[in-house]
Amino acid sequence: MKCWTRRQFSCLAGATGVTALCPKKARGGTKARVVVIGGGVGGATSAKYLAMSSSALDVTLVEPKARYTTCFFSNLYLAGLRSLESLTHDYDILAQRYGINVIRDAVTTLDPVARTIGLEGGGTLPYDRAVVAPGISFRYDAIEGYDEAAAQIMPHAWIAGVQTKLLRQQLEGMKDGGVFLMVAPPDPFRCPPGPYERASLIAYYFKQYKPRAKILILDAKDSFFEQDVFQDGWYRHYPGMIEWLPGQFTGGVKAIDVKNRSVKTSGEIFKADVANIIPAQMAGELAQRAGLVDQSGWCPIDPKTFESKLQPGVHVVGDAARAGNMAKSAFASNSQGKVCAFAIAAALTGSEQFAPHLFNTCFTLLAPDDAVTSAISYRTEPETIKISDIFVSKVGENAETRRKAVREANGWYAAFTHDLFG
Ligand SMILES: Cc1cc2nc3c(=O)[nH]c(=O)nc-3n(C[C@H](O)[C@H](O)[C@H](O)COP(=O)(O)OP(=O)(O)OC[C@H]3O[C@@H](n4cnc5c(N)ncnc54)[C@H](O)[C@@H]3O)c2cc1C
């Protein structure tokens, strides 16, 4: 198996469609075709576990980027603790070892009646089942003045890659004594502890290189996940450096002035030296275009199979899915990808249908030697997914427990990315 570039793929697929590319046989006929859209956490997991679960499946993964940079651990890059390269992974092993047809292209259309997928490069892919895992998109209409162009000056850095690099450059260029202003989004959003881990690790960077700098968080919310643990960490490691203002205090962020690098709330204007605007979020654009999204902005799914409730034969995993109480995290997306892969394999090949096991574990760094953890298991109900057990770190844990959590976090990153791409 090999990876096809968009150009090679278009030539090969031509008008005849892609089936001609892989005419493999199984159970007396052609293999059942599963097309996975999006090579991030949810998509890579689904593709790999589909390919591993049955030789009777022909698995294709469509992803526009040659290499994927993880959002998880990108806050360490912002703090100068990891290189971006160390967070970047390719699809070679998925193609070579697992026999997945990796197509470098973007999906533009999904027709759930004809069961075909249209590619930006011009080809068409027929499917028996599709998995849609496009991640998030931003509600650019939520804050006046903030759009894609504004994000080039006041980055969100909430999809890792160029945006993350831009924010790091701005932090490096900021004068000592400057203000780093973050706008934190309303629920639900990708990675609930993420904005506060980012503030912690940028404070760590400032403490080394710009000790007079300040961090101001203008939050859309009135409270946030693991708030007591974060605020305790800020007090111990960075006293006086981080100020968090809840939505009920500011009345919420109303507008952005890119030219003056300022943020307007109900009653005040806040000036920034570096501004990180993380807007409200919804399912990735393709999910919207394919009719997979309901009025919440996310994709309703069957909790046992992750099949869309709106388009039969299409499954949605990862942040785009509306998965009950599950957090929008990499760990959760990976867990969903596995459940989805086994459910599709069972439906298409008659293999055993496993009961779903859904989990989320998160390691969050307050400082390079101080990490906290959360571990959650979920149970599925006919219409939703609920938390069945939860562990979260507590204020007052001893220093060795926190150092151990940092070692576990590093081990987790290596093992987890191996599970996705290795
Ligand atoms: C700062 C930060 C820190 C985080 N830290 C953690 C952490 O410590 N632990 C944790 O568990 N989670 C963490 N997360 C969350 C985690 O990164 C996401 O929840 C996870 O990436 C979601 O996976 P996904 O597959 O839904 O989306 P993504 O990983 O974003 O993948 C989506 C993919 O779909 C592709 N795509 C989009 N549209 C199309 C299209 N039309 N055609 C083809 N492909 C398409 C994109 O190119 C992309 O590769 C963090 C997030 C942030 C922002």
Q: What is the DSSP string of 293-352?
A: --TTSSEEB-TTT-BBSSSTTEEE-GGGEE-TT--SSHHHHHHHHHHHHHHHHHHHH---
What is residue 11's predicted lDDT score, i.e. its pLDDT?
Answer: 31
Ligand 1 atom with least separation from CA of 363: 8
pLDDT above 70 covers a percentage of the chain that reads 93
HSE on the CB side for 55, CA within 13 Å?
4
Cβ contacts of 415 within 8 Å, gap of 6 or more: none
What is residue 9's predicted lDDT score, i.e. its pLDDT?
Answer: 35
* Cα dihedral 414, 418, 420, 422 in deg (nearest 10): 150
Question: For every residue of 191-258, which 3-state class applies, written as one string?
Answer: CCCHHHHHHHHHHHHHHHHCCCCEEEEEECCCCCCCHHHHHHHHHHHCCCCEEEECHHHHCCEEEEEC
What is residue 29's predicted lDDT score, i.e. its pLDDT?
Answer: 62
pLDDT in tens, 30-50: 899 999 999 999 999 999 999
pLDDT above 90 covers a percentage of the chain that reads 91
Closest listed residue to residue 320, CA positions, set 132, 106, 71, 118: 132
How does strand 25-26 pair with strand 29-30?
antiparallel
What is residue 315's predicted lDDT score, i.e. its pLDDT?
Answer: 98
Gap from CA of 87 to ligand 1 centroid (Å) = 13
Which one of 190, 278, 306 would you pick to mutate in the ligand 1 pocket, going by the greatest count of ligand atoms within 8 A of its CB? 190
Gap from CA of 20 to ligand 1 centroid (Å) = 32
Gap from CA of 399 to ligand 1 centroid (Å) = 31
CA distances from 73 to 76, 127, 377, 410 (A): 5, 35, 22, 9
Q: What is the DSSP string of 42-67?
A: HHHHHHHHHHHH-TTEEEEEE-S-SE
- The SS3 of residue 156 is coil
- Ligand 1: lining residues by beta carbon, under 6 Å: 37-43, 62-65, 68, 71-72, 74-75, 106-107, 133-135, 158, 190-191, 194, 198, 284, 286, 318-320, 328-331, 333, 362
Q: Mean pLDDT for the chain?
A: 93
Which one of 191, 198, 281 would you pick to mutate in the ligand 1 pocket, going by the greatest count of ligand atoms within 8 A of its CB? 191
What is residue 354's predicted lDDT score, i.e. its pLDDT?
Answer: 82
- The label of the residue with tokens 């654009």 reads 285
Gap from CA of 193 to ligand 1 centroid (Å) = 15
Gap from CA of 235 to ligand 1 centroid (Å) = 31
Gap from CA of 72 to ligand 1 centroid (Å) = 9
Q: For residue 111, is pLDDT > 60?
A: yes
pLDDT in tens, 53-107: 999 999 999 999 999 999 999 999 999 999 999 999 999 999 999 999 999 999 9
What is residue 17's predicted lDDT score, i.e. its pLDDT?
Answer: 32
| CA gap 343, 350 in Å, rounded | 10
Closest listed residue to residue 315, CA positions, set 333, 297, 295, 327: 333
Q: For residue 353, is pLDDT > 70?
A: yes
Q: For residue 271, is pLDDT > 70?
A: yes
pLDDT in tens, 273-327: 999 999 999 999 999 999 999 999 999 999 999 999 999 999 999 999 999 999 9
pTM: 0.93
Ligand 1 atom with least separation from CA of 198: 1
Ligand 1 atom with least separation from CA of 318: 26
Nearest CA to ligand 1 atom 11: 330
Closest listed residue to residue 420, CA positions, set 141, 67, 168, 48: 48
How does strand 321-322 pair with strand 242-245?
unpaired
Residue type, 86: S
Exposed, middle or buried, 296 (CB in 10 Å: 0-12/13-18/19+)?
exposed
Instruction: Please tell me which residue, 242 or 16, carries the higher pLDDT value.
Output: 242
Residue type, 299: C
Q: For residue 344, is pLDDT > 70?
A: yes
| CA gap 142, 352 in Å, rounded | 45
Gap from CA of 251 to ligand 1 centroid (Å) = 30
Ligand 1 atom with least separation from CA of 364: 8
- What is the sign of the dihedral through the CA atoms of 15, 16, 20 and 25? positive
pLDDT band at residue 169 using 50, 70 and 90 as cut-offs:
very high
Nearest CA to ligand 1 atom 50: 72
Which helix (H) or strand (E) covers residue 108, if one does?
strand 107-111
| CA gap 189, 313 in Å, rounded | 26
Cβ contacts of 69 within 8 Å, gap of 6 or more: 84, 87, 88, 89, 160, 161, 164
Whether the Cβ atoms of residue 61 and residue 91 lie closer than 8 Å to each other: yes
Gap from CA of 41 to ligand 1 centroid (Å) = 6
Q: What is the mean pLDDT of residues 256-260?
A: 97
Ligand 1 atom with least separation from CA of 319: 26
pLDDT in tens, 144-160: 999 999 999 999 999 99
